[in-house]
Amino acid sequence: AQSVTQPDIHITVSEGASLELRCNYSYGATPYLFWYVQSPGQGLQLLLKYFSGDTLVQGIKGFEAEFKRSQSSFNLRKPSVHWSDAAEYFCAVGDSGYALNFGKGTSLLVTP
Amino acid sequence: EAGVTQSPTHLIKTRGQQATLRCSPISGHTSVYWYQQALGLGLQFLLWYDEGEERNRGNFPPRFSGRQFPNYSSELNVNALELEDSALYLCASSLAGQAKPLGEQYFGPGTRLTVT
d(C-alpha A96, C-alpha A83), whole Å? 37
Residue A62's pLDDT band (cuts 50, 70, 90): very high
| Amino acid in the structure at residue A59 | G
* CB nearest A34 (choices: B35, B104, B109): B104
From A17's Cα to the closest Cα of chain B, the distance in A is 28
Please provide residue B18's backbone torsions phi and psi, each rounded to the nearest 5 degrees. -110, 145
The residue among B65, B82, B83 whose CA lies nearest residue B74 is: B65
Helices (H), A1-112: none
Report yes or no: A36 at the B interface, CB cutoff 8 Å. yes
B108 at interface of A, judged by CB pairs closer than 8 A: yes
Cα distance between residue A61 and residue A16, in whole Å: 14
Torsion of CA B88, B93, B99, B102, to 10 degrees: -70
Share of chain A above pLDDT 70, in %: 96
B31 to chain A: which residues are within 8 Å by CB?
98
pLDDT digits over B4-37, tens only? Answer: 999 999 999 999 999 999 999 999 898 999 999 9
Compute the radius of gyration of chain A from its Cα atoms: 13
A85 φ/ψ angles, rounded to the nearest 5 degrees: -80, -10
pLDDT digits (tens, 9 = 90+) for A9-51: 999 999 999 999 999 998 767 788 999 999 987 889 999 998 8
∠ CA A65-A96-A78 to the nearest 5 degrees?
Answer: 10
Cβ pair B56:A34 closer than 8 A? no
User: Has residue A89 got a pLDDT over 60?
Assistant: yes
Share of chain A above pLDDT 90, in %: 71
Separation CA B98–CA B96 (nearest Å):
7
User: Which of A36, A42, A46 faces B109 most closely, judged by CB atoms?
Assistant: A42
Q: Residue B98: is its pLDDT beyond 70?
A: no
| Contact call for A99 and B4, based on CB within 8 A | no
Answer yes or no: is pLDDT of B99 > 50.
no
> Is the pLDDT assigned to residue A83 strictly greater than 60?
yes
Asked if the C-beta of B109 comes within 8 angstroms of chain A's C-beta atoms, the answer is yes
